[in-house]
Amino acid sequence: MKSRIRLCAAWVVTALAAGWGGIAQAGLIDDSVEGELVAFPGIFVVTPFSSPVVVAASSEFNGEFDDNAPDQEWEIDVDIGDSGFTVGVTSNLDIGNLHNPSGGIIGINLTDLNWVGTPGVITDVVNTGYQCALGSTGDFLPCNSFGGGPSILELSFGADSVSLVFNTIRHSELYTFSIEAEHIPAPATLTLMSLALVGIGYKTRKRITAV
């Protein structure tokens, strides 16, 4: 009897380990993600994102826009990693900022963010870093060194999507975002755990009946 109970307990431990292992391996690497660069009135998208991209060690959406300013264009790079992404803004000139006090300037939409390894849904998106480049040197430093802060007017997310709206664009910026998700054990793991628990319940009931 004891050996059977120990066997059932081993099944439970195996099932839990499989579930936890699946969660640990979940990420966005190898996922196919859609991206969109949106322009607000007065801003013109010159080069839209080429979409979708398959997330790898270095996967980027690249786009360009301008505001009809002479000889000035802005490049947007969105680099997606295993559990987050960065947004880089670079102007072809070392000076110049865009600001819209009444609304957005550009928007970025990422969709089909599906976790590979273990299914999951996005529960939060956090801006974990913000830096500015110093003139033509290209060296990124905390933006409070230059006066000013993040230019994110709106940050929203769904189960598999993230949307950003910026109301200020400086000549060179870099944002870092972390994606938090709640992962769901795979169906096979849940089945194994259920069978193990049923087995323990059956053995316990049989033992009580015998007494």
Name residues whose C-beta falls within 8 Å of residue 10's C-beta, 6 or more positions apart in sequence: none
Higher pLDDT, 50 or 95: 50
pLDDT at 38: 93
Percent helix, strand, coil in the chain, to 5, is 25, 40, 30
pLDDT > 90? residue 194: no
Q: Is 86 exposed, middle or buried (0-12, 13-18, 19+ CB in 10 A)?
A: middle
Structure-token match 């609304």, residue found: 103
CA distance 30 to 82: 9
Q: Are 16 and 192 in contact (CB under 8 A)?
A: no
| pLDDT tens track for 141-156 | 555 444 456 688 899 9
- Mean pLDDT for the stretch of residues 68-74: 79
Q: Is 184 exposed, middle or buried (0-12, 13-18, 19+ CB in 10 A)?
A: middle
CA distance 76 to 87: 7
pLDDT at 172: 81
Q: Name which of 14, 64, 29 is nearest 197 in CA terms.
A: 14
**159 band by pLDDT with thresholds 50, 70 and 90:** very high
Q: Could you say which DSSP state residue 145 is in? A: G
